[in-house]
Amino acid sequence: MKQHGNGHWHGHSEITSAAVRRLYGHLSGPDGRIMGLSRAEYTKALDKAQAVLDRPYGAGLIRNFANTGLTVPYAGPGATVHSAWVNGEVQRAHSMADPRLDGPRNLELIQDYIEEQLQAAHGSAADEIKHLGAASHALQDSFSGAHTWREDSVYQGDVEAPITTLHVFDPGHAIGVNQHRNTHADEFDKPLAGSGTVRAAVEANYRMLRAYHLNRDKSPEDFRQALRQTMGPMLSPSKAGVQVSVAPTREWAAERDRRVALESGTPKPALAPAELAHLKSINAPTIPLRPAVPTSRPATTAARPTQTAARPTQATGRTTPPLQR
């Protein structure tokens, strides 16, 4: 998801602003403030904090670099443009998948990341907004079709639409490189302002902030339990489970196109079961997940933690232009 929209479509900034507007409409005190901040001050601080997650340049450490077990320092392109095949750990901050882990584990890590950020905010007055911004960014991303797919009710604004699929990011797809291992569909990066996914993202961010401030003065354990009650239904798996979409197969592309149409308000009929079965039968994985896996295995099945290292060609020193997601 992009940071800034243009009025016709919304990005993180507009979703953040709308969520804070709702928060202040319900919780601000007689002086119109929360945490001593006016709505404009709170919006500016929270938006700045969430935008840090999409900074194009940065420095830090990549743990388990390309699944080698090594910790490698980086300086240059920010973590937001790191390939999931190189830096799997950072993907949870954007509600995306580490391709070497299965769907349930990836979703658990996303849930844990958001909870950790909220707990960090609760325990640190100095960095409170910083951690609220990180939690807001990840939660908003979970409603972007470029990052996750939820059940179709999300296109009607359902904030509790269960998650069905987590996608895998490789920045090379933007210049025609490594397209075979990227399922971050850029078509979803500019959701229409009134779309169901935008409405759901605003509602989710509002609910999280509201729960945070209503429970801000509670003990750490009471705070954690209260936030779990709020966050759980918004980050739940579908009854059929959660998949990791590791390669853009024909089946994946057909589902992407169907969802793009739903997002834009021009729905297309779902593929007939027979056609879906046919697509599954002819799809072979582009990237073997581990050496022993036969090539007839569908590429969209959940990745396993035992996968071998991805090819180390996606080092972060590449010249790929900065992307926002």
Give me Rg for the CA atoms of the chain. 20
Q: What is the pLDDT of residues 161-182, one digit of tens each?
A: 999 999 999 998 878 888 899 9
pLDDT class of 87 with cuts at 50, 70, 90: very high
Q: What is the pLDDT of residues 96-147, one digit of tens each?
A: 999 999 999 999 999 999 999 999 999 998 999 999 999 999 999 999 999 9
What is the residue-averaged pLDDT of the chain? 86
How crowded is the C-beta side of 316, counted as CA atoms within 13 Å? 26
For residue 264, the model assigns a pLDDT of 87
Of 125-129, 252-256, 263-267, the least confident:
263-267
For residue 274, the model assigns a pLDDT of 60
For residue 276, the model assigns a pLDDT of 54
- Secondary-structure percent of the chain, ordered helix, strand, coil, rounded to 5: 50, 10, 45
The 8-class DSSP code of residue 9 comes to B
For residue 283, the model assigns a pLDDT of 47
- Per the model's pLDDT, the better-predicted residue between 1 and 127 turns out to be 127
Q: Are 208 and 135 in contact (CB under 8 A)?
A: yes
pTM of the model: 0.80
